């Protein structure tokens, strides 16, 4: 199944340019699409097959064209994807299922009742080196008087 998150406006414009260069019938034939009257894309006064353009835009984005089978039967809503990328597309738009109540409540922003406290964490102080006897180089006890040298 093809995902279209990588398809940008530039990829769609490249597919439209290829559509114009090849001509409608040749473009559809090369990529295995049939002419769709129901879902169309309008760009600069010209009308294009929305699913075919989106399938080829997928090729420009990922290196693999989305097939007609992947776009058929309402699996992918080409019109919505094209509209999200800023194009004028028309045709049947499938309604997305409503999220469950639990997901809606979890996604809703929660109001803050208190102001957050500024929490600044101090860096731990480095450990001080233990004092050393200058004569025998032994670590001095807490009294500061060397047990060996006195």
pLDDT in tens, 56-103: 999 888 888 888 888 777 778 888 888 888 888 887 644 444 445 554
Three-state secondary structure call for residue 15? helix
pLDDT tens-digit readout, 121-133: 777 788 788 888 8
Q: What is the pLDDT of residue 113?
A: 57
pLDDT tens-digit readout, 47-65: 999 889 998 999 888 888 8
Q: What is the pLDDT of residue 1?
A: 55
Nearest to 55 by CA among 24, 88, 84, 33: 33
Q: Which residue has the higher pLDDT, 22 or 100?
A: 22
pLDDT tens-digit readout, 132-143: 888 888 888 888
Question: Which runs of consecutive H residues, i.e. helices, occur in 23-148?
Answer: 24-31, 50-62, 68-71, 78-84, 101-107
On the question of pLDDT at 33 being above 90, the answer is no
In this structure, the number of other CB atoms found within 10 A of the CB of residue 53 comes to 29
pTM of the predicted model, to two decimals? 0.58
Q: What is the pLDDT of residue 137?
A: 83
Domain ranges of the chain: 9-90
Q: What is the pLDDT of residue 107?
A: 56
Residue with tokens 């080829």: 56
Residue with tokens 């995902």: 3
Rounded CA gap, 35 and 47, in Å? 12
Q: What is the pLDDT of residue 118?
A: 62
């Amino acid at each position: 199944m093809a995902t279209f998150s990588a398809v940008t406006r530039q990829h769609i414009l490249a597919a439209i340019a290829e559509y114009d260069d090849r001509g409608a019938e040749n473009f559809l034939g090369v990529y295995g699409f049939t002419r769709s009257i129901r879902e169309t894309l309008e760009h600069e006064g010209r009308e294009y097959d929305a699913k075919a353009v989106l399938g080829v835009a997928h090729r420009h984005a990922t290196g693999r064209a989305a097939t007609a089978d992947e776009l058929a039967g309402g699996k992918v809503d080409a019109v919505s994807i094209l509209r999200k990328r800023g194009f004028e597309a028309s045709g049947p738009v499938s309604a997305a299922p409503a999220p469950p109540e639990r997901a809606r409540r979890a996604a809703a922003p929660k109001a803050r009742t208190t102001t957050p406290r500024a929490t600044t964490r101090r860096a731990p102080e480095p450990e001080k080196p233990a004092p050393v006897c200058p004569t025998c180089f032994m670590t001095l006890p807490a009294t500061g008087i060397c047990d060996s040298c006195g």
